[in-house]
């Protein structure tokens, strides 16, 4: 696998998982319809078996993400309104719009923040075998890479094609053992 930083153990790239989260889909397999109504989330993905709440307190990160984005949006609206209407900004209107966005945006963004946070969590803490996710989803990219490597690998040469006289395999001493990393094995002379 390519070196990707913290997601070495995940076959999917972090970008793929985040894009799936932005579409309210399972970050592992892409399954949609994970929410009943708007905020009622399934416990597990029906397709790959991923349990969304992997540890107690899992959702603190999604709440933080949701509230932070809401506040950034409100600050942007208020600052934009003040700058656009300077020197006499409509403070009551900006306050009402800011208050409405503060309440409504987190409700609207709730399912997105949950799935984005699941993707971030998997990128930071890769899935383990004990989590019960069907390995076909976790290992698909690895299987594809293995197939590409096998198709690009040189074909083995027929016996006798190694340059040994008469096509015979070169003689080896079975007591030689594996080669030493710094050179051929030599008897120890230090008395040990």
**43 in a structural domain:** yes
* Counted domains in the chain: 1
Which helix H or strand E contains 41, and what residues bound it?
strand 40-41
In this prediction, residues 125-154 reach a mean pLDDT of: 72
State how beta strands 40-41 and 35-36 pair: antiparallel
Residue 75 domain boundaries? 5-144
Q: How many other C-beta atoms can be found within 10 angstroms of the C-beta atom of residue 115?
A: 26
Which pairs with CB-CB distance under 8 Å and at least 24 residues apart come from 29-33? 29/137
Q: Is the pLDDT of residue 177 over 50?
A: no
R_g of the chain, CA atoms, integer Å: 29
CB contact set of 115 (below 8 Å; sequence gap of 6+): 20, 21, 22, 23, 24, 25, 26, 27, 34
**112 in a structural domain:** yes
- Residues 179, 102: Cα–Cα separation, whole Å: 68
In this prediction, residues 109-118 reach a mean pLDDT of: 94
**97 in a structural domain:** yes
**151 in a structural domain:** no
**152 in a structural domain:** no
Q: Is the pLDDT of residue 161 over 80?
A: no
pLDDT digits (tens, 9 = 90+) for 85-107: 999 999 999 999 999 999 999 99
pLDDT-based confidence at residue 9 (cuts at 50, 70, 90): very low
**187 in a structural domain:** no
Q: Is the pLDDT of residue 172 over 90?
A: no
Secondary structure letter of residue 180 according to DSSP: B
């Amino acid at each position: 696998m390519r070196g990707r930083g913290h997601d070495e153990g995940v076959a999917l790239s972090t970008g793929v998982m985040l894009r799936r989260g932005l579409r309210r889909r399972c970050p592992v397999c892409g399954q949609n319809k994970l929410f009943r109504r708007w905020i009622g989330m399934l416990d597990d993905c029906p397709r790959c078996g991923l349990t969304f709440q992997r540890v107690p307190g899992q959702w603190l990160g999604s709440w933080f993400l949701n509230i932070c984005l809401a506040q950034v949006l409100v600050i942007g609206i208020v600052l934009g309104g003040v700058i656009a209407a300077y020197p006499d900004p409509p403070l009551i209107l900006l306050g009402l719009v800011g208050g409405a966005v503060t309440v409504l945006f987190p409700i609207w963004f709730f399912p997105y923040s949950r799935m984005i946070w699941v993707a971030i969590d998997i990128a930071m803490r890769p899935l383990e075998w004990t989590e019960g996710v069907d390995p076909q989803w976790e290992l698909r990219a690895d299987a594809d890479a293995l197939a590409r490597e096998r198709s690009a690998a040189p074909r083995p040469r027929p016996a006798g094609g190694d340059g040994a006289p008469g096509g015979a395999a070169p003689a080896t001493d079975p007591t030689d053992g594996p080669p030493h990393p710094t050179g051929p094995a030599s008897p120890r002379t230090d008395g040990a």
